[in-house]
Structure formats: structure tokens, C-alpha cells
């Protein structure tokens, strides 16, 4: 339902893992903990954990395969061990192939499969996926594919015949018998694993022929270069001892997909198991290998937002007696989009949370990269599927703590509140390293630490020095508010600052047809930034240069590609897209009509909104007036710029709306029908 707008060279082995350095030759020195490592020598030989468990994962949310491939150097330079794609299966081509994250297109279409074969119009082809995996291999980056086995698109007419045949030959056999029921009682394991969730048809994952079909899809992903899988909605697929329908099949889906796929012993697999009523977290960890730790993410967000980083809250993973085989996060894409975290938590606060979860010994941290140019005032930013997300994923503090994590493999952890100040927390790893996060006010040094005596430089800012002597940490400067301090010497490698390219924060990404826009370009840490506009020639630019952008007559978008290299020749890439905007005005007093289908309820509403996030009322909108001829009318009470309208019969379960996606253009006096 449409909701309201605000909706391979092994160099050192350690205790529990090892580090791999790839892609180039090093000229830096690693020194012991008691020495001051302030060398200006730099390396392009990036230290990545040899196992995904010990490293970090970048969630490339709605990036297409070519964008990920072009961004691989940046991903490696930022210290990630693995990247996670959005679902790469075939999916519904909604809104005539529109490519907005939300609006004229939908990010979630690839989470609603039409077939289990590689490639879709949003992310790219199978060949492009393989080329992306090949590029990742060059940099030592592992590839995790987000997969969905639990459900399909609700637009069942779009489901491929091959999938239907694999599901027993009909839509009825593809799905569970209980698919006729909507899931409301999450405490019932039978309902949770066989009922329809959120309107999404529930696949009978116990059917052997479907399992065979899905395993073939997984093996094709592996053949292309996938190193692991994230299972979406995993808790809605039954465990071996869960109750099930009387259909002659057994609950063996997890046993088969974790053991019968190629290279099974070397794959990293985890399931999305959102914590709540009767979710059986420990059992899913045993069945799949790893699960998410959603409650911990919520505790981290709350701690950062409220400036209360108590040791007890931070140290507890909130998984009970379950083993610590978990993927942790500050926020997931669902938290960002559906839970409103996009406006309740700033990017800077996300980075503080990331430092905490990544500095820790246990868990495998996942970094969700927010949409490009998004903010607490603009959920979708540039609002484009396929392009790179926000530069926050390669922030200096993120890079510093990612490499810290790799250097600390095998070290135990200690969590304390420095000076007993609960607005700050310090995660120490043995005597080798420490990460300090301070959320409120300046934090005075002079507190106790387990760090070995010596002089340390904050790897997050590259300059501030800290001295440890006789178990006390001191510095000439206090630790600023909303800052991250990353301290370690042993295992540290000096890397050149990443080149930065982009457009000004106030850039508007919609251009009226036939008009132009002036765009300010930005760059830093480079002397060779270049741009290519609409496939033209490459042009050098400097920070602050302005260019004129227009949409070609033969297209509905303008494409701006920005590239640069840093002092070590490491490439940075960004693709910026400007879309045509068709503007029109609607005057106060404009009146429209709607013919209600017989199957709808008797109270009809008009929900009006525009791209500036104005709405006539929160969903379902304002009640329409029933006219004498049986039609329903709505009169605009204000002037509007480029509004869209959706007709519906309320927000109760089973309610109807037209259209199902983006609203209709408003035309004075028009009668709208479903035909």
C-alpha cells in the first residue's frame, strides 16, 4: 500500500584470523605499540581480513553492477572486506522501467522476485554481474548477494513460467496453502512461515522442485563469483522442527541451501531474522551460520541519539544465550526507510555508531550506505537507482576504524566509559589499540587505559597525538564532541587520503524540459579531477567550478560522470543523474471526479502530494464528496505545484487504492476510472 510521504598474499597469522594485503606494493613501516608511527610513506596494499567474519561489509544499496565495479578501488581503500549487492534476481518492471528509488520507480521491486535468474533492469545483466565479481577479485573484496526465497512479487501475472513450473506447475502450488491468509500473529511459527506477509505471496520453500530451482540460481551466482548470501525474510522460512502444512514435504530448505550449493564450506551466509516474538534466533544461527542482530542496532541508535553510551547497553549484543554469529549494523535499509531513521539520525551520528560496532571483537558489521545527497530533510536525495550512494561509506573515520578492526583480529576487548562519563565510550582491544567515541561536550583526557605505553596518532584525523604512560592517556587537546578517536600503531599502514569528487550539497537533480541547470562541482585530495557530461569528452575541473547541464532531447536524463585519482593513483568514481521534470500548476478550486469500483468501500479518499513532500493530509488523505450521479468529487483548497493524486478507500487492512504506485497527474474536471 502506498503510504504517506514521510514514510592473495598471506603476510601474518594471528590468533583467530589473518590479514591479506592486495593490490600493489607497500612502502610503509609497521611499528610496535610503544613507538610513534607518523611516517608519511603511503601504501596501496590494503589490509583486508581473510574471512568476512573478521572484517566489515559495505551494503551497496541499489547500486548497479557497473557502479560497484567502477567504485571497487574506493571500496578497497576504505577497508571493507566484502560488499553486499541488492537482490540480483529478475523483478517487476514497474512504472515503465522508472529508475527512481521511490516515485517513478521503486527500490523494493528487486526484493519482489519474478524469477530466480541473474539480471534485472535496475542493477544490470548477468555478464555485468560477473565482470563486477571479477573486479572485486582483483582487489581481494568478497561479494555477498542479497537473495529472497520466501516470496515473490504480488503482481503474479509477471512471474515467469519457469518459476511456476518449478513450483509445481501453478501459482496455487508455487505458494503455501496458507498463502490465502495474512500474517498478523508473529508468535505462531506456522503462520510466520506459511502465511502471506505484507501482501507478498509466500513460496512453498519445502517443495523439492522449487529448492532445486533456487539452488541452481545460487550456484549460478557462485559461478559468477559470489562468496556468500544474505537471506531476506529468513525467519519466514521454516526450521526443521517448525510446524508445517500437511503437503507431504519436509522443512529441509535450510539444510539443502547451506550444504548442497557449490563451495558451501567457504561461503558466508546470514539470514535476516528480525528480533521479536518467537523468532528462534539461535536456531537460525545454527541452521544458516549467521543472522542479523536487529535489537542491538536499535540499542546503538538510541544510545547515540540520546548521548547515553552506557557500558552495559553497548557491551550486550541482546541475543540472549545465542552464539555471537551475527551481522551487526547501526541501521539497515529498512530502519532508514520504514522506521524513519533517515530523519531521526544524522549521517554524523551513524558514523559514531559505526565506530562502536566495528571496534568490537564480535559480530560482523554491515554499513548501509544512504542514498546520494540524502539528508534529514531529504530521504531520497538524488533519488536514483543504480548510482553510488553517499560518500559517508568512505569517510576518514570509517576508513580508520575498518582498518583498525583488521589489525585487531585476535585481540580481546574491554569496554569502559572514560572518566565514568556515559556520553563517551572506549573500546580497547588488548593492549594494542583503542577506539573512543564522544557524543556530547568535550571529553578531557587523563583517564585510565590498557593501551601499551607510547605515543599514538588519531588515525581518524591523522594528526592529534595521544600519550600513554603508566596506564594513563593524555593529550594536549580535549576530545571534541561528536568525534571518533582511533589509536593503534602495531599493524598500522599509512594510506593516502582518498580523492573526493561530487556536486554541491544544494544541487537540484530535476531539470525542466528544455531548460538548463548550473551545477557546482567539488573535489579534494586530487589534482586531476575530470568530468564527462552525457557521454561527451573528458574535461578537467577544479573544486568550485560551475558547469551547465541540460537533458538531451533524445533522453529523459542527463548523466554526469566524475573521476579522480589520489596521490597514489587510487581511482574515485561518481555518477550523477539529472532527470527531466514536467512541471504544471493546479489552481485553488480545481475539481476532479472518481468512479468508485463496486468492490470498494463507501468512503473514498483523495491523497494529494508532490515531489516537494507536501501532502493534503497524511494517508489516506481527505474524504471525497459523493455526488448525485454516484461519482465522488474532490476540490483543491489551495494552489499546488505539480501535484499527484491517489484515490483509495481508507487505510484499513484490505483497503484499495488507485493507482497502486505513483499518483496520477491532476486535470481539472476530469473523471478518473480504473478502466
539: left (phi over 0), alpha (psi -120 to 50) or beta: beta
Q: Let me know: does 472 contact 449? Beta carbons within 8 Å.
A: yes
Helix (H, G, I), strand (E, B) or coil at 211: helix
Q: Among 53, 70, 272, 279, which one carries the catalytic annotation?
A: 272
The CA–CA distances, whole Å, from 368 to 6, 18, 22, 173, 279 equal 20, 25, 24, 36, 23
- Grid cell in block for residue 439: 557524543
Q: Let me know: does 371 contact 380? Beta carbons within 8 Å.
A: yes
Helix (H, G, I), strand (E, B) or coil at 574: strand
Q: Say what the alpha-carbon torsion angle 193, 196, 197, 201 is, to the nearest 10 degrees.
A: 110
Query: Cis omega (within 30 of 0) on the bond before 659?
Result: yes
Torsion sign, CA atoms 174, 177, 178, 182: positive
Determine phi and psi for 110, rounding to 5 degrees: -75, -5
Q: Considering just the CA atoms, what is the radius of gyration of the chain in Å?
A: 26
Which residues fall within 8 angstroms of residue 306, CB to CB, at 6 or more apart?
Answer: none
Q: Among 45, 104, 232, 395, which one carries the catalytic annotation?
A: 232
Calpha distance 410→124 (Å, rounded)? 39
Total length of the chain: 675
Calpha distance 491→598 (Å, rounded)? 71
Which residues fall within 8 angstroms of residue 230, CB to CB, at 6 or more apart?
Answer: 84, 144, 145, 146, 147, 269, 270, 271, 272, 327
Helix (H, G, I), strand (E, B) or coil at 471: coil
Task: Give the DSSP H/E element, type plus range, for residue 352.
Answer: helix 347-359
Calpha distance 675→655 (Å, rounded)? 19
Is 272 among the residues known to form the active site? Answer: yes
Is 232 among the residues known to form the active site? Answer: yes
Calpha distance 624→322 (Å, rounded)? 53
* Concatenated DSSP letters of 253-308: HHHHHHHSSTTGGG-EEEE----STT--HHHHHHHHSEEE-HHHHHHHHHHHHTT-
Of the candidates 570, 534, 663, the residue with the CA atom closest to the CA atom of residue 611 = 663
Catalytic residue numbers? 232, 272
Amino acid at each position: 500500500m502506498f503510504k504517506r510521504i514521510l514514510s592473495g598474499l598471506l603476510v601474518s597469522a594471528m590468533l583467530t584470523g589473518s590479514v591479506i594485503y592486495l593490490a600493489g606494493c607497500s612502502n610503509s613501516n609497521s611499528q610496535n605499540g610503544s613507538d610513534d608511527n607518523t611516517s608519511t610513506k603511503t601504501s596501496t596494499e590494503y589490509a583486508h581480513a581473510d574471512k568476512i567474519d573478521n572484517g566489515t561489509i559495505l551494503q551497496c544499496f541499489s547500486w548497479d553492477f557497473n557502479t560497484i565495479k567502477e567504485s571497487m578501488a574506493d571500496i578497497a581503500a576504505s577497508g571493507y572486506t566484502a560488499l553486499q549487492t541488492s537482490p540480483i534476481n529478475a523483478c517487476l518492471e514497474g512504472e515503465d522501467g522508472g529508475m527512481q528509488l521511490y516515485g517513478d520507480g521503486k527500490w523494493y521491486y528487486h526484493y519482489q522476485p519474478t524469477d530466480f535468474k541473474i539480471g534485472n533492469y535496475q542493477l544490470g545483466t548477468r555478464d555485468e554481474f560477473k565482470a563486477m565479481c571479477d573486479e572485486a577479485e582483483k582487489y581481494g573484496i568478497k561479494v555477498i548477494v542479497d537473495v529472497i526465497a520466501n516470496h515473490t512479487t504480488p503482481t503474479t501475472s509477471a512471474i515467469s513460467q519457469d518459476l511456476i513450473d518449478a513450483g509445481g506447475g501453478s501459482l496455487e502450488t508455487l505458494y503455501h496453502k496458507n498463502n490465502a491468509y495474512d500474517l498478523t500473529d508473529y508468535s505462531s511459527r506456522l503462520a510466520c512461515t506459511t502465511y502471506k506477509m505484507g501482501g507478498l505471496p509466500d513460496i512453498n520453500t519445502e517443495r523439492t522442485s522449487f529448492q532445486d530451482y533456487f539452488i541452481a540460481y545460487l550456484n549460478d551466482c557462485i559461478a559468477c563469483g559470489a562468496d556468500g548470501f544474505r537471506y531476506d525474510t529468513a525467519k519466514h522460512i521454516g526450521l526443521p522442527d517448525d510446524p508445517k502444512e500437511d503437503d507431504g514435504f519436509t522443512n529441509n530448505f535450510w539444510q539443502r541451501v547451506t550444504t548442497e550449493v557449490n563451495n558451501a564450506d567457504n561461503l558466508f551466509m546470514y539470514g535476516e531474522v528480525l528480533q521479536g516474538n518467537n523468532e528462534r534466533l539461535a536456531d537460525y544461527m545454527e541452521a544458516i551460520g549467521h543472522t542479523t542482530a536487529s535489537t542491538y542496532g536499535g540499542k546503538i541508535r538510541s544510545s547515540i541519539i540520546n548521548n547515553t553510551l552506557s557500558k552495559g547497553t553497548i557491551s550486550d549484543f541482546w541475543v540472549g544465550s545465542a552464539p555471537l554469529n551475527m551481522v551487526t549494523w547501526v541501521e539497515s535499509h529498512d530502519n532508514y526507510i520504514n522506521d524513519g531513521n533517515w530523519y531521526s539520525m544524522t549521517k554524523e551520528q551513524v558514523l559514531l555508531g559505526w565506530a562502536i560496532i566495528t571496534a568490537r571483537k564480535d559480530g560482523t558489521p554491515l554499513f548501509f550506505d544512504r542514498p546520494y545527497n540524502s539528508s534529514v530533510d531529504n530521504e531520497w536525495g538524488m533519488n536514483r537507482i543504480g548510482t553510488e550512494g553517499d560518500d559517508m561509506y568512505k569517510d576518514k573515520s570509517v576508513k580508520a576504524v575498518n582498518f583498525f578492526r583488521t589489525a585487531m583480529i585476535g585481540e580481546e576487548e574491554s569496554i569502559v566509559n572514560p572518566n565514568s562519563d556515559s556520553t563517551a565510550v572506549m573500546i580497547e582491544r588488548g593492549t594494542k589499540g583503542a577506539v573512543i567515541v564522544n557524543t556530547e561536550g568535550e571529553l578531557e583526557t587523563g583517564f585510565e587505559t590498557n593501551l601499551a605505553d607510547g605515543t599514538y596518532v588519531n588515525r581518524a584525523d591523522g594528526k592529534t597525538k595521544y600519550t600513554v604512560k603508566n596506564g594513563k592517556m593524555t593529550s594536549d587537546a580535549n576530545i571534541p564532541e561528536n568525534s571518533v578517536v582511533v589509536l593503534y600503531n602495531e599493524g598500522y599502514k599509512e594510506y593516502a587520503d582518498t580523492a573526493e569528487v561530487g556536486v554541491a550539497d544544494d544541487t537540484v537533480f530535476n531539470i525542466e524540459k528544455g531548460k538548463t541547470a548550473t551545477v557546482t562541482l567539488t573535489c579534494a585530495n586530487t589534482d586531476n579531477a575530470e568530468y564527462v557530461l552525457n557521454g561527451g569528452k573528458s574535461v578537467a575541473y577544479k573544486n568550485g567550478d560551475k558547469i551547465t547541464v541540460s537533458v538531451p532531447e533524445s533522453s529523459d536524463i542527463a548523466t554526469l560522470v566524475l573521476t579522480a585519482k589520489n596521490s597514489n593513483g587510487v581511482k574515485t568514481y561518481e555518477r550523477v543523474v539529472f532527470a527531466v521534470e514536467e512541471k504544471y500548476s493546479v489552481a485553488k478550486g480545481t475539481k476532479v471526479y472518481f468512479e468508485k469500483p463496486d468492490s470498494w468501500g463507501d468512503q473514498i479518499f483523495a491523497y494529494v502530494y508532490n515531489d516537494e513532500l507536501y501532502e493534503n493530509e497524511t494517508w489516506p488523505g481527505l474524504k471525497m464528496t459523493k455526488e448525485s450521479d454516484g461519482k465522488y468529487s474532490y476540490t483543491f483548497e489551495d494552489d499546488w505545484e505539480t501535484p499527484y493524486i491517489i484515490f483509495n478507500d481508507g487505510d484499513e487492512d484490505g483497503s484499495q487504492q488507485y493507482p497502486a504506485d505513483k499518483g496520477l497527474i491532476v486535470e481539472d474536471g476530469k473523471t478518473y476510472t480504473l478502466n
